Structure 1
Amino acid sequence: MPRRRRRKRRGTSTAPQVSADAPDQVWAADFQFDVTTDGRPIKIVPIVDERTRECLGDMVERNITGDDVIGELERIAADRGTYPVVLR
């Protein structure tokens, strides 16, 4: 008799859900990948304030390292005068 496959369970977070009540509380960074018309890959990292939906910065490069992202976040924080409470 064949065994039944176990159903995958959806994970739940133990951290409390944080919503942005004011600007500069929650910033979101999304890592995206695309390919140019000549077939070469590019990486895209937009950084958005979740309250205002303002694009604080974006990086479009062929190669983006963690140090590059940290540098961009520090540059944005210096321009705005504050760091976010939460970075997603």
Structure 2
Amino acid sequence: MITRLLRQEGWQVNFKRIYRIWKREGLKVPVKKVKKRRLGDRSGAIGRRRAERPNHVWSVDFIFDRTVNGRSLKVLSLIDEFTRECIALEVNRKFTGDDLVTLLVDLFAIRGRPQFIRSDNGPEFISKQVRDFLDLIDVGTSYIEPGSP
């Protein structure tokens, strides 16, 4: 960008020389922000669905860790987005859609059901058992891009 501006001013400069000078002086080029498109359709857009009260939106995701001997652990964390309260932390070697449904049934009996559950589109969260269960009890889903906060 600087090379282009200098050339427009009439200077005869080499890109590599400008780059070396720029780096030596410790200057940084500002990074352009990329406009992200909104995820989901109009009714289920993630940007619009903010938790308005307790038990409105729950978020569920996995955290991965390893034991001393190298075996993997999966930690399922489920939080209430409004209160930021951790509702459940389940640790296991593997989780299936049936395991998630069993956990949700127990939590719904204790705390009541949320209006929406937000998750990424991992295989446990989009499995047929989980989708059928959430449709049966009328809990909406909101999927995010994997790795998004």
TM-score range, shorter chain: 0.7 to 0.9
How far apart are residue 66 of structure 1 and its match?
1.1
% same residue? 37
Unaligned runs of 5+ in 1: 1-8
Distance 2:66 2:37 in 1: 31
How far apart are residue 65 of structure 1 and its match?
1.1
Aligned residues: 79
Residue type matched to 2:60 in 1?
A: A
Distance 1:55 1:71 in 2: 18
Bigger strand fraction: 1
Bigger helix fraction: 2
Unaligned runs of 5+ in 2: 1-34, 119-149
Note the aligned Cα RMSD (angstroms): 1.6
- Per-residue deviation, residues 31-64 of structure 1 (Å, max 9, x unmatched): 1221111100111111000000111111101121
Which structure 1 residue ranges, 4+ long, deviate > 6 Å from structure 2?
A: none
Quick one: which of 85, 96, 105 aligns to 1:74?
105
Q: Which of the pair has the greater relative contact order for Cα pairs under 8 Å at 6+ separation?
A: 1
Match of 2:75 in 1: 44
Instruction: Report which of the two structures shows the higher radius of gyration computed on alpha carbons.
Output: 2
